[in-house]
Homo-oligomer: A and B are copies of this chain.
Amino acid sequence: MENTFWIWYPGDFELYHAMKQNFSRVERGFGWPAFWKSEGFRNRVALRRVYELEQETSFTVFSNAVGHVLVTWENGEKKYPFGKKITAGPGKVRISIHAGCVEAFPCAYVQGEVIHSDKTWTAEDYSQPAVPVGVCKYFTKPEQNPTVWEYTEKECRPVKITEVNGGVLAEFETELTAAVYVNDKRKETGDNQERCITAEENNAGKNDAGNAECGLEVYCGESEDEALDLEHCYYSWQPDPVTKRCPCCAVRFAFIPDCKAEDVEITAFYQYVDFPKRASFKSNDEKLNKIWDVAEHTFRLCSGIFFLDGVKRDKWIWSGDAYQSFFVNQYLLADPDIDQRTLLALRGNDPMTRHINTIMDYSLFWILGVLYHYEVYGDLEFVRQVYPKMCSLMEFCEEQLDENGFLVGRENDWIYIDWADMDKTGALCAEQMLFAACWQAMAKVSDALGEKNPEYTEKYEKLISQIRKFYWDQEKGAFIDSFESGKRNVTRHANIFAILFHIATAEEQEKILENVIKNDAIPAITTPYFNFFELDMLCQTGNLEFVLNKMRSYWGGMLERGAVTFWEEFDPKAPVEEQYDMYGDRFGKSLCHAWAASPIYFLAKYFMGLKFTAVGGKAFELEPHTEFFDSFDCTLPVADGQVHLTWDGKDLKVETNAEGGVLKVNGECRKLETSL
């Protein structure tokens, strides 16, 4: 039934799958579950709805839980087991599904003509008042099990098989998240049925009872170097003896030692969430085209049930990383559901007792992420759902203010901002700027919900005035990292935020650009993570050519090194033999990292010039910067439709099937008619 959904207590689906995701990291034979508070789904819920039935009707309830269906009518009630047809009505009936499950979140599917499960049902957890249930658009059939995500699967055969180091190396066309399949043909002849450790059992972390030498070993690498380095390769598996598959992992190269090419048949089953294609970019600049394509592949690999940081490492849901993914998502997949799932997974349950991912700034990015999501998709229902958690997060922050009203870390809080040399003594300027931006986000969100909360704006203004008073260094013409140390250290970070979050005045902005951003004496940003903020700011302040060159050199530099996905970090000056090093680990660097996909956002928003001027994309402006291109052909998502821009060096053609568009060319505005 198209209109019937599996239902559960809202957020439980996300908390359950997030836990599975965050516990899935594997490194050289051991598991590495994410090192932060990992919160549970509910185990006992009641799912209810009242119907006014004009006539008798029947329905069946399916569930993964133990429990029963309680049907209550005017003069009585009756309990029924799950899985059996129930008849009710006519008249007013209340259906209550009582469900308990220890191992996973309880959920239910109600199949029936009139009585069926959807968003109109409510959920209770015997602790808080009833709330609307949660659903997922992918779970609409009774035979499904919402505790198991159904990935799309596609076979990808190797593009190259070579014999090397006494074994066989398979190369795939690009990096994949795939289950490598190996058929050991030597076994087909003998009756080799001894019991091996299955891939599932070997899926690290579980008792490694002994890598019994009973089959071949598959080394999966993001790079050829990694696959061939048996000591340092992250993933090595023995294929499951029945399915002949290894666990799904990041892989571009698979190496099997001690065998010959004719001994084995190797292929890979790529597993992914199939987000429909909604954007494309082609121009006369082949390098830019390649950057877009590789960024798209990188981003899609890192977009599963949730936005992940990377596919080999950490495979975790990080709030700061996810925040940047929201920006790329808007212009590439335009999928609101993955935003929602990620935001729900990150925030966990109330009460809040630790910062998201243990990082203070990552809590703040969560607030900013909710606002961004709302502005992009106009998703008021979701905002209404999470608003109480926004409030409790801000209250949690307010419990840790110093005497100046600045947000400071608790013991064990991680004050991150960036991997950079920064003066982190006491209250940090960059944190206060994010905190101020959060108050502004709270004001906007509460306004959208029709609430009156003038204190948000008051708090914002008060904090901004304190920031200016304590951190603006008139002499340096810049914001300093920290005032407590007296060092008056200046880095780019707070100054970038000052412009991005419109904290700096026009005059201050000028000074920042001159004294910090364009000042080579101020250490450069070294991570793609903060590059995103700096380049975004540079685009906003009109430095498009600089950004274009940076994309060509930085992301183009990775391509020159053979990248098929973009990396967690890239130092153009690093020697080739150390290019995969990170954290002092020979292959520590993630070669497929979501935060490196930002060129899509820059190209779409600033070069194709697609900016949204109303919530939910109901109004937008197109101001393509044709001056940088001889030609281009680009499609971008807009609300439920798309825009299609073509430029041949002379004529610009724009087509759209979305209302509310305005084309800006040479400062002139023209309403876009829908034509697609």
| Contacting residues of chain A (44-75) with chain B, CB-CB under 8 angstroms | 44, 46, 62-63, 65-68
Check A43–B40 contact: CB distance below 8 A.
yes
Check B205–A128 contact: CB distance below 8 A.
no
Could you say which residues of chain B place their CB within 8 Å of the CB of A103?
102-104
Check B83–A207 contact: CB distance below 8 A.
yes
For the complex, is A99 an interface residue (Cβ under 8 Å from B)? Answer: yes
Known contacts A40-B43, A44-B34, A126-B354: A63-B100 contact under CB 8 Å: no
Least Cβ–Cβ distance between A398 and chain B, in angstroms? 18
Least Cβ–Cβ distance between A599 and chain B, in angstroms? 35
Could you say which residues of chain B place their CB within 8 Å of the CB of A207?
62-63, 82-83
- Bound together, the chains give a CA A603 to CA B83 distance in angstroms of 50
- Bound together, the chains give a CA A80 to CA B31 distance in angstroms of 9
Known contacts A63-B207, A100-B23, A103-B103: A29-B81 contact under CB 8 Å: yes
- Identify which of B39, B66, B126, B210 contacts A205 (C-beta below 8 A): B66
- Bound together, the chains give a CA A208 to CA B127 distance in angstroms of 29
- Bound together, the chains give a CA A100 to CA B32 distance in angstroms of 8
Query: Which of A102, A127, A207 has most chain B Cβ within 10 Å?
Result: A102
Known contacts A68-B31, A103-B104: A127-B205 contact under CB 8 Å: no
Could you say which residues of chain B place their CB within 8 Å of the CB of A354?
126-127
- Bound together, the chains give a CA A406 to CA B204 distance in angstroms of 56
For the complex, is A84 an interface residue (Cβ under 8 Å from B)? Answer: yes
For the complex, is A312 an interface residue (Cβ under 8 Å from B)? Answer: no
- Bound together, the chains give a CA A235 to CA B357 distance in angstroms of 48
Tell me the nearest residue of chain B to A207, going by C-beta.
Answer: B83
Q: Kindly specify which of A14-22, A174-182, A264-272 makes contact with the partner chain.
A: A14-22
For the complex, is A257 an interface residue (Cβ under 8 Å from B)? Answer: no
- Bound together, the chains give a CA A100 to CA B21 distance in angstroms of 11
For the complex, is A419 an interface residue (Cβ under 8 Å from B)? Answer: no
- Identify which of B30, B41, B203 contacts A80 (C-beta below 8 A): B30
Could you say which residues of chain B place their CB within 8 Å of the CB of A80?
30
Could you say which residues of chain B place their CB within 8 Å of the CB of A32?
67-68, 79, 98
- Bound together, the chains give a CA A94 to CA B31 distance in angstroms of 19
Tell me the nearest residue of chain B to A41, going by C-beta.
Answer: B40
Query: Which of A29, A39, A81, A210 has most chain B Cβ within 10 Å?
Result: A81
- Bound together, the chains give a CA A354 to CA B46 distance in angstroms of 16
Check B40–A40 contact: CB distance below 8 A.
yes
Check A67–B30 contact: CB distance below 8 A.
yes
For the complex, is A151 an interface residue (Cβ under 8 Å from B)? Answer: no
For the complex, is A35 an interface residue (Cβ under 8 Å from B)? Answer: yes
For the complex, is A125 an interface residue (Cβ under 8 Å from B)? Answer: yes
For the complex, is A505 an interface residue (Cβ under 8 Å from B)? Answer: no
Total interface residues in chain A, CB < 8 Å: 58
Query: How many subunits of this chain does the assembly comprise?
Result: 2
Could you say which residues of chain B place their CB within 8 Å of the CB of A34?
44, 100
For the complex, is A37 an interface residue (Cβ under 8 Å from B)? Answer: yes
Could you say which residues of chain B place their CB within 8 Å of the CB of A101?
23
| Contacting residues of chain A (345-380) with chain B, CB-CB under 8 angstroms | 351, 353-354, 358
For the complex, is A556 an interface residue (Cβ under 8 Å from B)? Answer: no
For the complex, is A628 an interface residue (Cβ under 8 Å from B)? Answer: no
Main secondary structure of the interface of A (DSSP, over half): loop
Could you say which residues of chain B place their CB within 8 Å of the CB of A102?
16, 19-20, 23, 103-104
For the complex, is A36 an interface residue (Cβ under 8 Å from B)? Answer: yes
For the complex, is A144 an interface residue (Cβ under 8 Å from B)? Answer: no
Check A208–B84 contact: CB distance below 8 A.
yes
Could you say which residues of chain B place their CB within 8 Å of the CB of A127?
37, 353-354
Check A33–B67 contact: CB distance below 8 A.
yes
Tell me the nearest residue of chain B to A125, going by C-beta.
Answer: B37
Could you say which residues of chain B place their CB within 8 Å of the CB of A99?
33
For the complex, is A1 an interface residue (Cβ under 8 Å from B)? Answer: no
Q: What are the interface flags for A116-135 relative to B under an 8 Å C-beta threshold, 1 for contact and 0 otherwise?
A: 00000000011110000000
For the complex, is A38 an interface residue (Cβ under 8 Å from B)? Answer: yes
- Bound together, the chains give a CA A209 to CA B83 distance in angstroms of 6
Tell me the nearest residue of chain B to A351, going by C-beta.
Answer: B351
Check B39–A43 contact: CB distance below 8 A.
yes
For the complex, is A206 an interface residue (Cβ under 8 Å from B)? Answer: yes
Could you say which residues of chain B place their CB within 8 Å of the CB of A126?
35-38, 354, 358
- Bound together, the chains give a CA A206 to CA B46 distance in angstroms of 16
Check B100–A206 contact: CB distance below 8 A.
no
Least Cβ–Cβ distance between A335 and chain B, in angstroms? 25
Could you say which residues of chain B place their CB within 8 Å of the CB of A83?
206-210
- Bound together, the chains give a CA A206 to CA B353 distance in angstroms of 35
- Bound together, the chains give a CA A44 to CA B68 distance in angstroms of 31
Tell me the nearest residue of chain B to A203, going by C-beta.
Answer: B66
| Contacting residues of chain A (180-221) with chain B, CB-CB under 8 angstroms | 203-210
In the assembled complex, 22 residue pairs joining A and B whose CB atoms fall closer than 8 Å, in A order, are: A19-B44, A19-B100, A23-B66, A23-B100, A23-B101, A27-B79, A29-B81, A30-B67, A30-B68, A30-B80, A33-B65, A33-B66, A34-B44, A35-B98, A38-B126, A40-B42, A65-B205, A66-B205, A82-B207, A83-B210, A102-B104, A126-B354
Q: Which 5 A-B pairs have the closest CB atoms?
A: A33-B100, A66-B205, A31-B66, A40-B40, A83-B207
Interface residues of chain A, those whose CB is within 8 Å of chain B, are 16, 19-20, 22-23, 27, 29-44, 46, 62-63, 65-68, 79-84, 98-104, 125-128, 203-210, 351, 353-354, 358
Given contacts A23-B43, A31-B66, A31-B81, 12 further A-B contacts (CB under 8 A): A19-B102, A22-B100, A23-B44, A27-B79, A30-B79, A31-B100, A33-B65, A33-B67, A36-B44, A37-B125, A37-B126, A83-B206
